[in-house]
Amino acid sequence: MWHEMAVLGGLLLAASAAPALAADDRPLLQAGKKTLYQRVLTTPSCRLGDQPGAAGGKPQPAFTRFYVYQRQQVGDGEWLKVGADSYGKTLGWIDGGCAVEWKMQMTLALTNPAGRDPLLFFRQRESLDKLFAAGDPGKLLKPIRANLASQGRDPSVVAREPDYAVDLAKRFYLLPVLNAREIMTEKGFRVRELEVASVTAAAPKSAEQTAQDKAGEVNTLKGFSAAVVFVIDSTISMGPYIDRTREAIRKIYQHIEQEKLLKQVKFGLVAYRSNVKAVPALEYVSKLYVDPAQVQGGEDFLARMAALKPATVSSSRFDEDAYAGVMKALDGIDWTQFGARYIVLVSDAGALDGSDPLSATGLDAAQVRLEAKHRGVAIYSLHLKTPSGASNHASAEAQYRDLSNNPVLNKPLYYPVDAGDVDNFGRKIDGLAAAITGQVKAAYRGEMAAGSALGADADYGKKGKPADDALLEDTAKLGHAMRLAYLGEVTGASAPPVFNAWISDRDFVKQNVPTTEVRVLLTKAQLSDLAEVVKKIADAANEGLISPNEMFERLRSVAATMGKDPSQLQKGGKSATLAEMGLMAEYLEGLPYLSEVLSLDEETWKGMEGLEQEKFIRRLNTKLKYYQKYNADADRWVSLAEGSDPRDHVYPVPLEALP
């Protein structure tokens, strides 16, 4: 838990993963740790010299991460001998007073600011305490925001979050946590007050500069475009829905041609079925029919879509490989060309779980959703609840709600079509396509408000019948968030330039809305170690399904081979958790999340129903698949120090992806 704990962050490379080095060639260990090395982050005043205590030296970029190899007292101050990585190559000495200890390597990512006020970075924690103790925090914030709007500054505020979204994947930034505490607000919400650090403050913008920036939005938004990719189940039962989707796209293309928006709105198409080894006549698992980056217009799209026909044979299961279809769209399309990015999943069946032998991806809804989030893609799920799939409806709904849970709206973009009614489905498709087109049209006109395009084109195609108001409202809000993300990307929006400040992980007024997300920075060695241990736990759990007593006996053996003191393994008996047995690495200790794996003990495992145990194993196996994807994704690995060994580059892993 976070309660009053210092969480300045560094997950350090396990000593077991490093090559054999002499003691003097290794960084110093953290106090009380066996595998975690000492590391620091530089502040803007740090200089790197050849000797401890020497004046001058080479200035270092703020937030460079250094390993500490030696500490030496010089006069009243301490000096640190540092290196860029943990493999024995030292660079020189820095004054310890200019560096900040980093024990648990975490960084915060700012959420998309749509639907909330820009986050304020306060000088003192007391400012947060006053806001959260107030029955109406908005009343206290009003004069502060007025000062920022008119003068560009307020005495209590160090910095303000940019108006536009800052994409950690595109512009990696460090926003480490120095201290945190969890409180209960007057409104009854649990929030975390966080002391954070960032680079030194730049001069605040004047009100005139801010007005100029706003005026520039209109021209910038003229380059805003949208891609809507339909991912359609093309199995034997889907013929009427494929035809109705084709009809909706034909009508909307006529509309956007009239509006001269052909360059701004593009449609794509992916079809999916199921495992072709089980049923070869299915022909494919997933197939990209239309790439939105290549389509030339309505006639071109419809000509390409003409090749899509429903399968002539049935799959071996009622569930199809929907996740393979979504991943085909995510991996097979260059989404960076578009500001607004949407996938519309259409299916009358559930999805094959990642642990199913027929699954092509080995991933579950949670992992596919994280991949979509990384690319800035929103997933809509149109679930056709046909009578033939009645027994499958509940499980499929749970999957698609998880898959389409949107971090900006904080709700799933899940829309069922009762009885699989083709007309109802058609109205949803018409309304959705028209609403997205309206959002792009509004952006082209320079309109930024969340509801500016709500209804602008949404009435198109309704034929006198009401469209899904919730769907249209969600699309309007999401379109606003997409425009903020686009503006953030093209203008190079970055994290606020502050050094020390206090923020909240929830909006001050809308206290159910998160302002930040935690990323854990893992090295390749740590990710590999994590995957290995998770696999061993999954293997032992598989054996435990046959004989519950076997699982924890095997895990004790695994812990022993990892160097855990055998006499310690028996302590706690059946109530000892996997964390207490020493199975998980030290770099997971103290993280602000509740781990179902770390907290598992023998009594809990034996008390689970067989189905619950199987689900536990499936979750472990799908996370293993996801770790493999992380490892292979060269673009997402980040160096935290110039010249550091590639083995010490890090991957920003969402807390949700940890075991």
Continuous segment of H or E residues that includes residue 122: strand 120-122
| Integer CA distances (angstroms), 32 to 38, 283, 290, 572, 629, in order | 11, 58, 57, 21, 33
Distance CA 110, CA 168 (A): 8
pLDDT score for 607: 83
Angle at 78 between CA 77 and CA 80, to 5 degrees: 145
Q: Tell me whether residue 132 is in a domain.
A: yes
Shared domain for 265 and 343, answered yes or no, is yes
- Given a contact cutoff of 8 angstroms between Cβ atoms, the answer to whether 8 and 103 are in contact is yes
Q: Tell me whether residue 221 is in a domain.
A: no
Domain containing residue 609:
526-586+596-641
pLDDT score for 21: 43
**Unique residue bearing structure tokens 């969402």:** 654
Q: Tell me whether residue 129 is in a domain.
A: yes
Domain limit, last residue, from 67, 101, 135: 101
Shared domain for 360 and 504, answered yes or no, is no
Of the candidates 243, 235, 197, 211, the one whose C-alpha atom is nearest the C-alpha of residue 503 is 197
What CATH number did the domain enclosing 401 receive? 3.40.50.410
Q: Tell me whether residue 30 is in a domain.
A: no
Q: Please check the confidence at residue 465 and state whether its pLDDT lies above 50.
A: no
Digit-coded pLDDT (tens) for 147-165 = 988 888 899 998 888 887 7
**Unique residue bearing structure tokens 């249209």:** 472
Q: How many domains are contained in the chain?
A: 4
Both tokens of 578, joined, read: 């996997």
Q: What is the mean pLDDT of residues 22-40?
A: 81
Shared domain for 433 and 370, answered yes or no, is yes
Shared domain for 249 and 343, answered yes or no, is yes
Shared domain for 342 and 322, answered yes or no, is yes
Mean pLDDT computed over every residue of the chain: 81
Shared domain for 92 and 146, answered yes or no, is no
DSSP 462-475: -TTS---HHHHHHH
Digit-coded pLDDT (tens) for 40-86 = 888 878 899 999 988 889 998 877 889 999 999 998 899 999 999 99
Strands 39-42 and 99-101: antiparallel
Shared domain for 434 and 286, answered yes or no, is yes
Digit-coded pLDDT (tens) for 600-638 = 888 888 888 888 888 888 888 888 888 888 888 877 888
Angle at 261 between CA 256 and CA 265, to 5 degrees: 85
pLDDT score for 571: 52
Q: Tell me whether residue 248 is in a domain.
A: yes
Q: Tell me whether residue 207 is in a domain.
A: no
Q: Tell me whether residue 22 is in a domain.
A: no
Shared domain for 140 and 267, answered yes or no, is no
Of the candidates 63, 31, 60, 37, the one whose C-alpha atom is nearest the C-alpha of residue 48 is 60
Shared domain for 97 and 111, answered yes or no, is no
Digit-coded pLDDT (tens) for 397-440 = 999 999 999 888 888 999 999 888 898 888 888 888 888 888 77
Shared domain for 432 and 318, answered yes or no, is yes
Separation of first and last alpha carbons in the chain: 16
Half-sphere exposure of 543 (CA within 13 A, CB side): 12
Shared domain for 537 and 606, answered yes or no, is yes
Q: Tell me whether residue 26 is in a domain.
A: no
Both tokens of 560, joined, read: 């022993």
Distance CA 98, CA 93 (A): 11
Both tokens of 206, joined, read: 């004047």
SS3 content of the chain, % helix, strand, coil (to 5): 40, 20, 40
Digit-coded pLDDT (tens) for 309-346 = 999 999 988 999 999 999 999 999 999 888 889 999 99
**CA dihedral for 313, 317, 322, 327, sign (positive or negative):** negative
Shared domain for 406 and 554, answered yes or no, is no
